[in-house]
Amino acid sequence: MKVLKFGGTSVGNIQNIKSVTKIIVDGEKKIVVLSAMSGTTNTLVEIADAIKNKDVEIANKTILLLSKKYRQVVESLFENSTIKQQVTIYVDSIFSKLLQITSKVYNELLYSTIVAQGELLSTFIFTKYLVQQGVKAQLLPALEFMRIDRLNEPDNFYIQQNLNRIISENLPADIYITQGFICLDADGNIANLQRGGSDYSATIIGAAINADEVQIWTDIDGMHNNDPRFVENTQAISNLSYEEAAELAYFGARILHPQTVMPARTANIPVRLKHTMRPERQGTLINNKVTDEGIKAIAAKDGITAIKIKSARMLLAYGFLKKVFEIFEKYETPIDMITTSEIAVSLTIDNITFLNAITEELEKFASVEVDQNQSIICLVGHSIVNHSKTHCLFNVLQDFSIRMISYGGSENNISLLVNTKDKIKVLKNLNSYVFENSVIA
């Protein structure tokens, strides 16, 4: 069985809902994982924020606006009056539940409950739409099988047991619909897999049922070899290994939630990225095969902070890095890039929640310099450091100040840290050199 995940834009309007229906109704049994309709989760976060700020009026107003949008969707999707009535009752119940909680005291659980409503709405509406169209569709509530443990990792055993049980109880259906993003936590409270987490839901589900393939359907025809928002004429990459895709997903190719590849890789399930509005396009296939050497893609990640830690005590000493790392560990702040010289170490973080506390502790034994507004530019591919063009990268970059370079940490990645103001120019320069064969003087 295959697992097909459709993102917010794929279920964001009537026309796209109809396109999705065409794609999934092909006589094969499958699981369909849905995000919330586009814009909905952002609006739900706004509602949660208004409640947090005790702005009940704004919260209520936003809920009413959103409910209007859903009423229109229901109006235009359903002709069958019985089904239309069922959907209307469900949609109304969600919005009246939301209106009832706007005066409650804000906490994490309230937030999780609010943001979960988007996927509950989209899956209910879509399942009923399929039923109206004569498809044997069955909703499988994610909250009956999707669970994370105390470390916020998927509880794979629980998921596998429960999902397979629920499927076996619903064998006659052709298409199973379920919610992406939402889950229970270890205490059984409603939780989620973080923003964009529906992709991750799809591969977790794929691994749990040992799927033939997981397909992520979205509004772009696969992972591109550069960022299409900043660079013209980017191309979809036809094949990526799990390692290459994981590097790209983390370093800013926003099409995939960063953790998505992991469950598929562990279970060796191919992941295919496809364009809902252009299903004839090949898309990107991610699997365990390595094709072609050299640089396949360039991506950038903003919001990076560089920290330079300098100490004469580092000279010829051992244990210095351990001391540094322990401070980041204490504040649960992951380090992304790292470079060292004999008396200094530079590293980058993207979570600056504890930046002040970390800096204070580091300053007890070193001098510390912090640079914000940095971007990591990463070049991803296979056997990348051996590639014939790699040695010329410095020429391409000679007009920019490169704050850090990480080369050789893996076969799949070279990372550069630049000031965010230079990012677009660097992406463009690299693009013409690597993919358009421009000669560098």
Positions that interact with ligand ASP (CB under 6 A): 7-8, 35-36, 41, 118, 180-181, 195-198
- For Mg ion, the closer CB: 3 or 337: 3
Return the bridge partners of 338, or none: 347
Which residue, 8 or 381, is less far from ligand ASP as judged by CB?
8
Identify which of residues 33 and 114 has a Cβ nearer to Mg ion in the complex: 33
- Min dist. Cβ of residue 42 to Mg ion (A): 12
What mask of x and - would describe binding to Mg ion in positions 4 to 33, judged by CB under 5 A?
---x--------------------------
- Specify which residues 273 forms β-bridges with: 216, 284
Six token digits for residue 392:
């010329």
Does position 196 interact with Mg ion (CB under 5 A)? The reply is yes
Closer CB to ligand ASP, 182 or 299, in the complex: 182
Residues near Mg ion (CB under 5 A), total: 2
According to the binding rule CB under 5 A, does residue 258 interact with Mg ion? no
Stretch that binds Mg ion, among 44-52, 107-115, 188-196, 303-311 (CB under 5 A): 188-196
Give the shortest CB-170-to-ligand ASP separation in angstroms: 24
Alpha carbon distances (Å) from 256 to 97, 229, 266, 377, 412:
32, 16, 17, 17, 18
Q: Tell me the C-alpha distance between 237 and 381, whole Å.
A: 11
The residues, ordered by sequence, that sit 6+ positions from 15 with a Cβ below 8 Å of its Cβ are none
Q: Minimum distance from CB of 284 to ligand ASP (Å)?
A: 18
User: Cβ neighbours of residue 251 under 8 Å, at least 6 residues apart?
Assistant: 299, 300, 301, 376, 378, 380, 413, 415
| Residue placing its CB nearer to ligand ASP in the complex, 7 or 206 | 7
For ligand ASP, the closer CB: 196 or 258 = 196
**CB-count burial class (<10 Å; 0-12, 13-18, 19+) for 315:** exposed
For 23, residues 6+ apart whose C-beta sits below 8 A from its C-beta are 4, 217, 276, 279
- Structure tokens belonging to residue 15: 């026309």
Residue 154's binding partner among Mg ion, ligand ASP, none (Cβ under 5 to 8 angstroms by kind) is none
Which of residues 350 and 371 has its CB atom nearest to ligand ASP in the complex?
A: 350
Nearest to 251 by CA among 416, 37, 89, 140: 416
**Candidate ranges 1-9, 12-20, 108-116, 389-397; the one touching Mg ion (CB under 5 A):** 1-9
Cβ proximity to ligand ASP: between 180 and 252 the closer is 180
Minimal distance, residue 277 CB to ligand ASP, in Å: 17
Helix (H) or strand (E) holding 34: strand 30-34
In Å, how far are 182, 374, 375, 379 from 427, measured between CA atoms? 35, 14, 11, 10
Q: Which does 118 bind (CB under 5 to 8 A by kind): Mg ion, ligand ASP, none?
A: ligand ASP
Please report how close the Cβ of residue 271 comes to ligand ASP at its closest, in angstroms. 15
In contact, 298 and 427? CB cutoff 8 Å: yes
State phi, psi for 5 to the nearest 5 degrees: -110, 130
Write down the least CB distance from residue 7 to Mg ion, Å: 5
CB of 278 to Mg ion, least distance (A): 17
Q: In what order do the strands lie in the sheet with 30-34?
A: 137-139, 175-179, 30-34, 2-6, 213-218, 271-275, 284-287, 239-241
Q: Which does 206 bind (CB under 5 to 8 A by kind): ligand ASP, Mg ion, none?
A: none
Contact partner, 307, from ligand ASP, Mg ion, none, Cβ < 5-8 Å per class: none
Among ligand ASP, Mg ion, none, partner that 251 touches (CB below 5 to 8 angstroms by kind)? none
41's contact among Mg ion, ligand ASP, none, with CB below 5 to 8 A by partner kind, is ligand ASP
3-state secondary structure of 220: coil
Q: Helix 40-52 crosses helix 108-115 at what angle (to 10 degrees)?
A: 150
Q: Cβ closer to ligand ASP: 49 or 411? A: 49
Cβ pair 8, 218 in contact under 8 A = no
The CB-of-5 to ligand ASP minimum distance in angstroms stands at 8
Which residues in this chain contact Mg ion in the complex, by CB under 5 A?
Answer: 7, 196
